[in-house]
Amino acid sequence: MRKIGTLLLMLLFVTFIIFPANSFAQTRLVLKSARQASTYYAFAVGQANAIHAGAPDIDVTVEDSPGSMVNVKESKTRENFLFTSPPDLIASALKAAEQFEEGGYEKIRALWPIPGIVMHWVVREDSGVKTLYDLAGQRFIPGGAGSAGANLTMKVLEAMGIKEKVELQTVDLNEGVQAVKNRRAVGFATASSVPAAMVSEIAATTPIRLLSLPDEDYEKVAQDVTRHVIPAGVYKGVDEDIPTISMMVGTYTSADLADDIVYKITKAFWENREIWEQSHPAMKFVKMEDVNFLKAKIHPGALRYYEEIGFNVADDVK
């Protein structure tokens, strides 16, 4: 018995020399998405769970974020990094335009689409604000500081010619609900798939109104967004359809992330759809076809998976 024990110890010793302890370690990735209270954080958790189910050797940690702009900016310096963003921000970063004029984002690569953001412009029902134009002279939170929703809201207000007339409050969106409840602002904007948790939360205790974007104003921003209608009855007290706008969102990474890792996570994501669909009702509407509209080249590891299953990838994103 003593000889057997000695042999086992020697075998273990030789094993750890040949295969160091870190060779058994999982590959660790970070997925940076949005605030924990947001729908997009739930989307990220669903993605992470699906990846773990399909690729147990890859561990994905979901990381809280103030918004898409921060995600894109951090992509330039972080390793083993996944992040979510609307494609329009990615396009600006790749061109070193607007908020990304410092450049250095040419390594951004697309992975897969997730549900798009839908603009909710929420005000207290007793505020007297019935249209976006009525926000002139009022304190309003356009979205979380540095978020895609805040940027889009300001673009809309600018196109309407009222941006300078609205008292825009720069705060973390987590403070938005309380700010409106306590009358420190007449309302807030949030960019989230329907139903949006923050809107449901405030509507449960405070009568609200959702502001619509009229067709004539939609035409002023139509080149950047698509039309969307929030159905009546989704939120307490909102009994009519609300015409608003939406924008696609995708999950991205860097060209520096190893091809075999990206292949594994892409395969795991799509082949465990039932897991991420459970994270939020909107996830059921994700279509593989939208990978062609993420405005960045598809990572070679992801491209390998798409071509392997016979998916038709557009030439301009290969």
Looking at residue 112, what is its pLDDT?
98
Write out pLDDT tens, residues 95-113.
Answer: 999 889 999 999 999 999 9
Matching CATH number, 117-247, of 1.10.443.10, 3.40.190.10, 3.40.50.970, 3.20.20.70: 3.40.190.10
Measured in Å, how far apart are the chain's first and last C-alpha atoms?
A: 61
Query: Got the DSSP string for 301-313?
Result: HHHHHHHHTT---
Question: Is the Cα dihedral 44, 50, 54, 58 positive or negative?
Answer: positive
Per-residue pLDDT of the chain (318 residues; tens, 9 = 90+): 455 545 444 544 444 444 444 444 589 999 999 888 788 999 999 999 999 999 999 999 999 998 899 999 999 999 999 999 999 999 999 999 988 999 999 999 999 999 998 999 999 999 999 999 999 999 999 988 778 888 899 999 999 999 999 999 988 777 888 999 999 999 999 988 898 888 999 999 999 999 999 999 999 999 888 999 999 999 999 999 999 999 999 999 999 999 999 999 999 999 999 999 999 888 998 999 999 999 999 999 999 999 999 999 999 999
Helix (H, G, I), strand (E, B) or coil at 187: strand
Looking at residue 24, what is its pLDDT?
45
Residues 6+ apart with CB under 8 A from 265: 29, 51, 55, 58, 60, 82, 111
Q: Which is it for strands 242-254 and 226-230: parallel, antiparallel or unpaired?
A: antiparallel
Q: Identify the CA nearest to 114 among candidates 274, 298, 235, 285.
A: 285
Q: What is the pTM of this model?
A: 0.79
Give the tokens for residue 5. Answer: 């024990």
Q: Which is it for strands 27-32 and 58-63: parallel, antiparallel or unpaired?
A: parallel
Please state, in angstroms and as integers, the Cα–Cα distance from residue 142 to each residue in 20, 225, 247, 267, 317, following that order.
52, 17, 16, 37, 33
Q: How far apart are CA 281 and CA 284, in angstroms?
A: 6
Looking at residue 281, what is its pLDDT?
87
Q: How far apart are CA 221 and CA 70, in angstroms?
A: 23
Delimiting residues of CATH 3.40.190.10 domain(s) in the chain: 6-114+249-317, 117-247
Indicate the class that CATH gives domain 6-114+249-317: alpha beta
Q: How far apart are CA 195 and CA 189, in angstroms?
A: 14
**CB 128 within 8 Å of CB 185:** no
Q: How far apart are CA 271 and CA 115, in angstroms?
A: 17
Which residues on neighbouring strands pair with residue 141, listed in sequence order?
188
Give the tokens for residue 204. Answer: 């449960």
Helix axes 39-54, 259-271, angle to 10 degrees: 110
Looking at residue 25, what is its pLDDT?
57
Give the tokens for residue 117. Answer: 């953001």
Q: How far apart are CA 156 and CA 183, in angstroms?
A: 24
Looking at residue 15, what is its pLDDT?
45
